[in-house]
Structure 1
Amino acid sequence: MKRNYEYLLSDLNLLKGVGTKTSNLLKRKKINTIFDLLWKLPKSYTDRSLSSKIKDLKIDEIQTITIIPLKYSFPRVRNLPNRVLCKDDTGEIDCVFFNSYEGYIKKILPIGKEVTISGKIKYFRNKYQLTNPKYISEDSSIIKQKHNSYSLTEGISEKVYNKIILQIINNLPQIEEWHSKDILKKFNNISWNDSIKKLHEPENIGKFKENFYQRLAYDEIFSTFLVNSEIRKKIKRIKKTKKIFDIKKQNEIISKLNFSLTNDQNKTLSEINKDLCSENKMFRLLQGDVGSGKTIVSLLSAFNTVNSGFQVAVMAPTEILARQHFLLAKKLFSQNIKIDLLSGKSSYKDKKIILNKISNKQIDIIFGTHALFQKKVEFKKLGLIIIDEQHKFGVNQRKKLSDKAGKDCDVLLMTATPIPRTLTMTIYGDMDLSIIREKPNIRKPVKTYSKLEDKIDDVIKFVKKEIKLGNQIFWVCPLIEESKKIDHSSAIKKSEYLNKLFPKQVFLLHGKTTTDEKEVILNKFLKNEFKILVSTTIIEVGIDFPNANVIIIENANKFGLSQLHQLRGRVGRGSKESSCILMFKSNLSDNAKKRINILKDSNDGFKISEEDMKLRGFGDILGFKQSGIKNFRLADPIHNHNLFILAEKEMKRIENYNEDISKFKPLIKLYDRADIINDIA
């Protein structure tokens, strides 16, 4: 049997007592290897170590006794239980079995032999009774111990599960230490092997601050940092043709803007330009709060790339956002820069013409959705890919994108999702990072108010006043249709209500709206053809509606802080004063009150995301857990913030000294990252 770390990556069938049925049950819980089983932690334990006499038994409690079976009673009438009369030197007890065969009962409770038994005690017809006891053995040491309780897969008993875990613990390989002495000192020199054993000891349940737990959480964090570092190094090793351009041409465009770039925008543009002019491939994330001006920075980067003789592809998550970027670029750049839009609505003939122009370098910058990266799209000289709202891409997808882009093509990914530093380090650690925190001076802070839902008449008066001034309104509801189970306002019901008050001025948008219908509705709203857009949260991402300066969010307490901030970012895009009204019921929880107050006090998305993570946990921040971007088993960016900082510091030290990371191979393999970097020596 393998006894190095590869044993832990073996299939479950390698374990004694784990056949096809048990293996399939475990795999349904995403437990595919022996290693996976180690992270299903005990939630409580039952102490069966203390032995009692029959005369001292307590009813309805789990007790352990040593008894001698005296007599079997196997009735011939169906549905009646089998009984075994047992005794010790203080009294008698019946062991009762339903649906158990005579042979099995005689085997586990042989007449005249001393047996230790444990289970919940009942009292029936003036006699103590144990029904269907699972813990029975002639070897008392097997029973007299603390037994862990786990969240079990249906069909696997606690006894079987404990037996499987104990087998793994007893067979744990002695893995050579991968951490430096300085790191190990931080955890009192405890080994990985001993940490795992302590993790499953009943007395250690919930001891998250102990050295064994901290060490394992650190392993998990550090393995992620290692992988990210390797990906960064691999991309940096790709030598590309330097992009050479005249910075004066960029500055001419900046001078014609009707606003000044912020310090953060200038700093970020400088970082990107340095990457473009380098012989190393750029793989950079541009992270900025809603309305911070990422798009102008990315378009200036595109302009510089074109002026160095290369083409640029700009990909947006929706066609309407791609069109908006396209129109802004046309406004910014002279006709010397050849720009086009690859639209799903274009005719076959037009698409063919555009594809032909791309392949012949008759288009400098092409805008579109994910269709830009289909096989039929061939670039003559692609030098930069810009992807907006990239948080839908995981580490694997980003690596594949970089590989596909080719050696001379730089990659710039953008997101308007400010997230806490510990999450940024983890989720985007494979990339270089530029952050825009400042907002342009032309952006006025959105004023945020809270309002009880029974004060809706006040809100309607406010809406009427805004419409008279020529403004537009977003009205956000959590649900599409009315629900009997959940007392939330539905988008459909609300649009019907508002239609009566504002005839022909209300449109509805929700998750069941087709893509084509959605594009038509949003374009009409953009052209100010109606005044109120009732919507679910699908209006979160990216589009500028300069004339929309009010957003009303119903049941605001049901949303996370980050999501509310993203929704609020749909207004305040123009020069007008903007408002966000958070509507809620009177019976708010303390957390809901905190969320609403934080949002009213701040327009800083980074600060808000930190508070959101503290209140809700990192998995809930804008659905990162649901997106499968990161799901730690032990580590938590809130509670283990110090470990993230320690891992980052250690990673930088290793990179600065260019240390050989082959000793970390078991760590990386164990934490299931071999599919990303599988060629470590």
Structure 2
Amino acid sequence: MRPEILFPLFAPISSLPGLGPRLGKLAERLAGPHVVDLLWHKPSGLIDRMAVGSIAEAPDGRVVTLTVRVDGHAPPVQANRPYRIRCTDHTGMMDLVFFHVKGDWLGKKLPVGQKITVSGKAERFNGQLQIVHPDYYGPAEDSPPLAKVEPTYPLTGGLNPKPLRTAIQAALARAPDMPEWQDAAWLKRQGWPEWKSALTTLHCPETERDIDPNGPARARLAFDELLANQLALALVRWHQRRLSGREVTGDGRLRAKVAAALPYTLTGAQQRSLADIYADMGQPVRMLRLLQGDVGSGKTVVALMAMLNAVETGAQAALMAPTEILARQHADSLAPLADAAGVRLAILTGRDKGKARQAVLDRLLSGEIDILVGTHAIFQEDVAFRDLALAVIDEQHKFGVHQRLQLAAKGRGVDTLVMTATPIPRTLTLTAYGDMDVSRLDEKPPGRQPVKTLVMPAAEKLDEVVHSLPRAIRNGQRIYWVCPLVEESETVDLAAATFRHATLREFLGDRVGLVHGKMKGAEKDAVMAAFAEGQLDVLVATTVIEVGVNVPEATIMVIEHAERFGLAQLHQLRGRVGRGTGASTCLLLYERPLGETARARLETMRDTEDGFIIAEKDLELRGAGEVLGTRQSGLPEFRLADVTVHGELLAAARDDAQLIIDRDPELEKPRGQALRVLLYLFERDAAVKYLRSG
């Protein structure tokens, strides 16, 4: 249950003064559904309201606060003209200018002869001082003292600064005094304020430092958020460690057969990762390990060896992939090696129905299948193993934690190995996978060809690229042609891809295929299969081909509007070529003018193929919000912390979380009780269920 002290902060956002039902919906879209979400909506800048003694002293282009007298009203003669109010003081005249004002409302609000205080941006028009739509105006004697410095916030269409500021100040007034969850000595050493004081400084700033990410107020709040994240992960991990596992140590006979059948020896990185995995599997606690490897670094072979370790003990293993095409590809590449070792391998996807599906389920339950490869279909209730000991999950960020646990529940003390081909920067690995041990495959297997990357302007080079394709096709090469993501709009993406498909077919004939996100799975698979089998020479695609397709004969990757793609995406797409023995090329076609960030991305792609270097560069260019954003679901979104700025605080939060778990794993001592409040405050409630109630 959420602690009572937090009830005011988790009231609906629309309950705040200044919002009401209509603006409440807009505020919810901007920040979130609860009062607390407005406290996390941080200022993006400051307005410094300069108090000016007279009209003559008001500087052009600055926000000023003045006391003047209303001298006259000039309503517009035509509908689209402004409403002007002439004001004076002992030094001269100025106008207040309003557009789209109905009726005599302003006449009543600002009667002639009244002394008023007015604040807004002063500017000169035809030599005359004016303030267009002042931020504030009212009778001088009733005017509240205006804050000299005012924060500005990110807005959304239809929501003006004034009601938003009113609501944020009301949210601040509802913030209770919290029990201190930070270590007193650490707070003192950092020179940080207490929680409520930090929030007040952030939303009532007096200088730039008050809203600076490295300033004491924001740093304190960022550390709170990072600690909540790391403590939640540490609790999940501690809970996992307490669940009884089983010691799984095979005799090596099947692995020896596969090693003999491989046309190459394993890389140092593969051997190191396997040593970690075997050591984990041999422990009486459950393994939870993340295997990070760049495109083509040989993760699948590592997964097979780990699964064989389980099969050697008489148990079973499962490998799960996010899409049917990827699952079938894994099954196809593992089948010859499984045959060499005499291991029985089967596949189960959503496409399998009726008797064929039932036959697989029967063999699985009786233990006649050693390794099952599949998609989400493996989660279904009627899928039962005789003795599942290891679950391998590919492309983890496509699955949630609960799905990981669902698969592990299909056996006794199941070990879990999670794989990703999206290299994740070290800082983000901590925030997203802090509950796991991590192994990295940072070497390419021998024989993998480097991919030559060329960056060129589309306007000059597009025709040249198209005219070079027939020669490449005659040499037996196959080509991917990727069309851009346009404004996240499927229809426009589709139009771009359809147009390119039509122009290439006109020039190259009918051996040009098209895949896009609007196609049904079976249609998409059929076109991909035709390309893989060589019935098509060119595959035009939107970004649906990003993950996992393996066509060794594909040696040319053309990416149009490369400046619109993120670095991680460009790197994933480039990884589709260079998988065979032929020399491969990736052509990045861009449109001018190129922005600074886009130029840096394309230069990084040209200069390196190392996915881990690319991931760090991507974090530096885009910031964590983007890298952690919609494209990689499953990674946490931070509101106050920015891991590109607060990397050191993240490491400190991880150490602190570990210390807390070592000293008070049930969070029962006074600091532990306060930390429970912190977990609820940042909506890490799921972690609290691992504790005894208290």
Q: 1:136 aligns with which of 135, 138, 153?
A: 138
How far, CA to CA, are the matches of 1:206 and 1:517 in structure 2?
A: 52
Q: CA deviation at 1:129?
A: 9.0
Q: CA deviation at 1:385?
A: 1.9
SS in 1 for 2:454: strand
For 2:374, the aligned partner's letter is: G
Alignment correspondent of 1:467: 473
Q: CA deviation at 1:418?
A: 0.6
For 1:677, the aligned partner's letter is: V
1:415 is aligned to 2:420: yes
Alignment correspondent of 1:189: 192
Residue 543 and residue 62 in structure 1: after superposition, are their counterparts in 2 closer, same or farther (change >3 A)?
A: closer
Residue 607 and residue 73 in structure 1: after superposition, are their counterparts in 2 closer, same or farther (change >3 A)?
A: closer
Residue 384 and residue 60 in structure 1: after superposition, are their counterparts in 2 closer, same or farther (change >3 A)?
A: closer
Q: CA deviation at 1:40?
A: 2.0
* Equivalent residue pairs, number: 673
SS in 2 for 1:490: helix
1:581 is aligned to 2:587: yes
For 1:565, the aligned partner's letter is: H
Alignment correspondent of 2:636: 630
More deviation, 60-69/405-414: 60-69
Alignment of 1:239-638 (within 5 A): 239-334=244-339, 336-394=342-400, 396-397=401-402, 400-401=405-406, 404-405=409-410, 407-453=412-458, 454-456=460-462, 458-460=464-466, 462-478=468-484, 490-585=496-591, 587-621=593-627, 624=630, 627=633, 629-638=635-644
Q: 2:684 aligns with which of 647, 663, 673?
A: 673
How far, CA to CA, are the matches of 1:129 and 1:8 in structure 2?
A: 42
For 2:180, the aligned partner's letter is: E
Alignment of 1:74-153 (within 5 A): 98-99=101-102, 116-118=117-119, 134-136=136-138, 138-143=141-146, 145-153=148-156
Q: CA deviation at 1:350?
A: 0.9
Q: CA deviation at 1:490?
A: 3.1
Does structure 2 conserve the Cα–Cα contact (< 8 Å) formed by 1:42 and 1:202? no
Per-residue CA deviation, residues 374-426 of structure 1 (Å, 9 max, x unaligned), is 223233322222221122234x5456536644552222221100121111111
How far, CA to CA, are the matches of 1:95 and 1:529 in structure 2?
A: 72
SS in 2 for 1:303: helix
Alignment correspondent of 1:39: 40
Does structure 2 conserve the Cα–Cα contact (< 8 Å) formed by 1:624 and 1:630? no
Does structure 1 conserve the Cα–Cα contact (< 8 Å) formed by 2:118 and 2:137? yes
SS in 1 for 2:685: coil
SS in 2 for 1:327: helix
How far, CA to CA, are the matches of 1:667 and 1:457 in structure 2?
A: 59
Q: CA deviation at 1:629?
A: 2.5
How far, CA to CA, are the matches of 1:649 and 1:667 in structure 2?
A: 17
How far, CA to CA, are the matches of 1:333 and 1:59 in structure 2?
A: 78
Residue 85 and residue 291 in structure 1: after superposition, are their counterparts in 2 closer, same or farther (change >3 A)?
A: closer
For 2:190, the aligned partner's letter is: F
How far, CA to CA, are the matches of 1:460 and 1:95 in structure 2?
A: 61
Does structure 1 conserve the Cα–Cα contact (< 8 Å) formed by 2:505 and 2:512? yes
How far, CA to CA, are the matches of 2:440 and 2:145 in structure 1?
A: 58
How far, CA to CA, are the matches of 2:412 and 2:503 in structure 1?
A: 56
Residue 143 and residue 545 in structure 1: after superposition, are their counterparts in 2 closer, same or farther (change >3 A)?
A: same
For 2:587, the aligned partner's letter is: I
Task: Output the TM-score relative to the length of structure 2.
Answer: 0.84
Residue 222 and residue 85 in structure 1: after superposition, are their counterparts in 2 closer, same or farther (change >3 A)?
A: same
Q: 1:159 aligns with which of 139, 143, 162?
A: 162
For 1:151, the aligned partner's letter is: P
For 1:180, the aligned partner's letter is: D
Residue 42 and residue 323 in structure 1: after superposition, are their counterparts in 2 closer, same or farther (change >3 A)?
A: closer
Identity, in percent, stands at 36
SS in 2 for 1:197: helix
How far, CA to CA, are the matches of 2:557 and 2:123 in structure 1?
A: 62
How far, CA to CA, are the matches of 2:549 and 2:80 in structure 1?
A: 69
Q: CA deviation at 1:363?
A: 2.1
Residue 622 and residue 477 in structure 1: after superposition, are their counterparts in 2 closer, same or farther (change >3 A)?
A: farther
More deviation, 409-418/398-407: 398-407
Task: Output the TM-score relative to the length of structure 1.
Answer: 0.86
Per-residue CA deviation, residues 439-462 of structure 1 (Å, 9 max, x unaligned), is 111212222223443334553565
Does structure 1 conserve the Cα–Cα contact (< 8 Å) formed by 2:478 and 2:556? yes
Alignment correspondent of 2:221: 216
Q: CA deviation at 1:532?
A: 1.8
More deviation, 523-532/538-547: 523-532
For 1:669, the aligned partner's letter is: Y
1:203 is aligned to 2:204: no
SS in 1 for 2:30: coil
Residue 207 and residue 530 in structure 1: after superposition, are their counterparts in 2 closer, same or farther (change >3 A)?
A: same
Q: 1:172 aligns with which of 169, 175, 178?
A: 175
1:231 is aligned to 2:236: yes
How far, CA to CA, are the matches of 1:326 and 1:577 in structure 2?
A: 27
For 1:299, the aligned partner's letter is: L
For 1:234, the aligned partner's letter is: H
For 2:441, the aligned partner's letter is: I
How far, CA to CA, are the matches of 2:185 and 2:506 in structure 1?
A: 70
Per-residue CA deviation, residues 169-204 of structure 1 (Å, 9 max, x unaligned), is 344322222222443245313222221121121523
Residue 480 and residue 37 in structure 1: after superposition, are their counterparts in 2 closer, same or farther (change >3 A)?
A: closer
Residue 139 and residue 564 in structure 1: after superposition, are their counterparts in 2 closer, same or farther (change >3 A)?
A: same
How far, CA to CA, are the matches of 1:85 and 1:10 in structure 2?
A: 45
Does structure 1 conserve the Cα–Cα contact (< 8 Å) formed by 2:13 and 2:28? no
Residue 274 and residue 56 in structure 1: after superposition, are their counterparts in 2 closer, same or farther (change >3 A)?
A: closer
Q: CA deviation at 1:86?
A: 9.0
CA RMSD of aligned residues (A): 4.0
